[in-house]
Amino acid sequence: MSVKAAPQTQAHTADLATEADRLLTGLGVSRASYTEGTLAVQTPITGKIVGKVREVSAADAAVLIAKAHAAFQVWRLVPAPKRGELVRLFGEELRANKQALGRLVSIEVGKIASEGLGEVQEMIDICDFAVGLSRQLYGLTIATERGEHRMMESWHPLGVTGIISAFNFPVAVWAWNAALALVCGNSIVWKPSEKTPLTALATQALFDRALTRFTKEGGRAPAGLAALLIGGRDLGELLVDHAKVPLVSATGSTAMGRAVGPRLAKRFARAILELGGNNAAIVAPTADLDLTLRGVAFAAMGTAGQRCTTLRRLFVHESVYDSFVPRLKRAYASVAVGSPLEAGTLVGPLIDGAAYRAMQGALEAAKAAGAAIHGGERIAVEGAADAHYVRPALVEIAAQTGPVEQETFAPILYVMKYSDLDAVLELHNAVPQGLSSSIFTNDLREAETFLSARGSDCGIANVNIGPSGAEIGGAFGGEKETGGGRESGSDAWKAYMRRATNTINYGRTLPLAQGVKFDVV
């Protein structure tokens, strides 16, 4: 990545509301749905309103969930490869409209252009994965102790899948869930973040195009298969509490998970919780420092620190601290901060003022703890007085205490010195969250120790890459206060289905398991 200074000091000069309107209409979204509503949508690029979206009432949301349940009754009987065909067509729509949807992500979230496009690419990738999966929803044949019997497991569609997504990945995380849920035979109901409804409307419009193509080609797609609930927290609560929604996948803060988890458990519904991450990396004595600099810089500063996998804690061995940390400081001081729509920008704005205030509060707490703070100041961008651009903050601190133990959703990297691997592993694992982690080392023993049972306690553990930037082929998620959920690749699909164990007696006798005798005359 480049670390040159930003070439611009002005916000993008185009009228972003006009551009958003052009993109949305081009993607097939009704203009009334985002101009005649009550939910104001601000772009973090300028802080200005770019849309007013119609919200769904609680009564209408209940109707949509009921329709999704009815649709599930039909969709579950469609053969899985046929369900995969719908997802394949959706992937084609995403490919054809990648530039437009990626641009809209940048406008609504503030991501730089490559990250906006990368998010849509994630959607395309999970569609490809799900299409293949639609022919691989396999069960096991299990050895049985009874002669002339066969025992096996089979997997069946579960029901309506509720999806609650966060602002920072407004469409990719929905796609992770939606693509798998659909090929598994479920209907879907989506409650997006109130901060990012425009990209949700656009995605729904593209999915509706795929549905139309699917039915024209003879596919059986029931009405109500995919619903969108735009509105506030009350709609999320309705989705979580609804008896006809057996699974809710919720992405957000740990506080959100503490509210959602017990409510789902109360009615014995399933939860896929993707919550907070206070991710760390270890820079060992043998680390390739050039590679490490690039890995740390992207993981800590990319998306303005607003990824759940953002690198927030960095432990640097004392033998390389004085050679590595000054280089990292220079990168922080010179990284290009500005409008994400301008070429050369690497760090865009924070999502809103609340994020900025949280960042400043964490930096104040770190300063009170004796930390040395480099960066973190607000950057004035012409034409964007209502936006919140900041220089990423590198914070040198002696101990893992106070704000270091908490997740602040902003570009703050706490840097600490270590001398012993066992001791630093204890520090690494001593926070409540357990999402993603990394070690930079060329020592095989250190690498394998980090990946072993006594190493990282996170759901994602990497060697010589940062904790950020997961691929869809692996299951995504973490432990402890991260929630324990898994989405995307590997066998995460099993969470969207119900398992049945089947035993078939093809003989003429009835032996009982465990040698039990129960003979009747």
Question: Which residues belong to the active site?
Answer: 274
Query: What's the sign of the alpha-carbon dihedral 114, 344, 306, 105?
Result: negative
- CA dist., res. 225 & res. 46, Å (int): 36
Report the residue count for the chain: 521
User: Interhelix angle for 98-109 vs 16-26, to 10°?
Assistant: 140
- CA dist., res. 393 & res. 310, Å (int): 13
Contact 468, 299 (CB under 8 A): yes
- CA dist., res. 325 & res. 316, Å (int): 8
Contact 136, 164 (CB under 8 A): no
Diameter over CA atoms, the chain: 92
Q: Which two tokens stand for residue 226?
A: 């995919």
The distance of Cα 414 from the centroid of its chain, to the nearest Å, equals 23
HSE-up of residue 355 (Cα within 13 Å, Cβ side): 23
Q: Which two tokens stand for residue 434?
A: 């357990």
Query: What's the sign of the alpha-carbon dihedral 83, 56, 24, 250?
Result: negative
If we measure between CA atoms, which residue out of 396, 410, 401 comes closest to residue 316? 396
Q: Is 47 left (phi over 0), alpha (psi -120 to 50) or beta?
A: left
